[in-house]
């Protein structure tokens, strides 16, 4: 699907605040609300917009310790991957799971209640599994979200829509 500047303005505005009303979104993109609604439907139907989600503060939900777990599985074979993925994504601590290339096979972003809960997770849910050969744990001190994901410009440089607040 070819995206024009109006589509990109709509996507940037929504990625910065998915709660915008159609009227506010149309004003941000400089188009009529009816046109905005048509474009939004086209972006959804074409699969550019895949959904909307709520972001929560894990610390305020009782999980202030966040970590990245780099996991190596052996053997790294298809019959083991799907059950491993299902087990990981069903852990309440799991925030995201990535299947990687390189020395590690998976990266799991987790949020735990405290250091002991993180240790229990690593020992009881990961290293205790036969296929898990290694778990390397990195604590997250602070994180920042990137800005809107937009297609690269024709000249190869990234587009810039909106400011990123590095103090938040």
Looking at domain 5-45, which of 1.10.10.10, 3.40.630.30, 3.40.50.12140, 1.10.1200.30 is its CATH number? 1.10.10.10
Q: What pLDDT score does 46 carry?
A: 96
Q: What average pLDDT does this structure show over 20-48?
A: 96
Task: Name the segment(s) of the chain with CATH classification 1.10.10.10.
Answer: 5-45
Q: What pLDDT score does 164 carry?
A: 47
Name the burial class of residue 33, with classes exposed (0-12), middle (13-18) and buried (19+) by CB atoms within 10 angstroms of its CB: middle
Specify the long-range contacts of residues 40-48, CB closer than 8 Å, at least 24 apart. 40/10, 43/7, 43/10, 43/11, 46/1, 48/1, 48/3, 48/7, 48/11
Q: What pLDDT score does 162 carry?
A: 52
59-139 fold: Alpha-Beta Plaits (3.30.70)
Residues of the chain above pLDDT 90, percent: 79
Q: What average pLDDT does this structure show over 27-33?
A: 96
Residues of the chain above pLDDT 70, percent: 91
pLDDT category, 143, cuts 50, 70, 90? very high
Task: Name the segment(s) of the chain with CATH classification 3.30.70.920.
Answer: 59-139
pLDDT at 70 over 60: yes
Between CA 147 and CA 161 the distance in angstroms is 8
Q: What pLDDT score does 161 carry?
A: 54
CB atoms within 10 A of CB 27: 15
């Amino acid at each position: 699907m070819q995206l024009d500047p109006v589509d990109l303005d709509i996507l940037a505005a929504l990625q910065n605040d998915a709660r915008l009303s159609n009227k506010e979104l149309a004003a941000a993109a400089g188009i009529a609300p009816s046109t905005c609604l048509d474009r939004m439907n086209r972006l959804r139907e074409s699969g550019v917009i895949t959904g909307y989600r709520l972001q929560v503060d894990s610390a305020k939900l009782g999980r202030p310790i966040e970590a990245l777990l780099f996991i190596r599985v052996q053997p790294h074979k298809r019959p083991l991957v799907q059950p491993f993925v299902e087990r990981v994504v069903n852990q309440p601590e799991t925030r995201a799971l990535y299947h990687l290339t390189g020395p590690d096979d998976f990266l799991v972003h987790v949020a735990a209640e405290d250091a002991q809960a993180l240790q229990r997770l690593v020992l009881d849910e990961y290293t205790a599994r036969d296929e898990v050969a290694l778990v390397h744990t990195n604590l997250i001190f602070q994180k920042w979200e990137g800005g809107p994901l937009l297609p690269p410009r024709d000249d190869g440089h990234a587009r810039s829509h909106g400011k990123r607040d590095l103090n938040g």
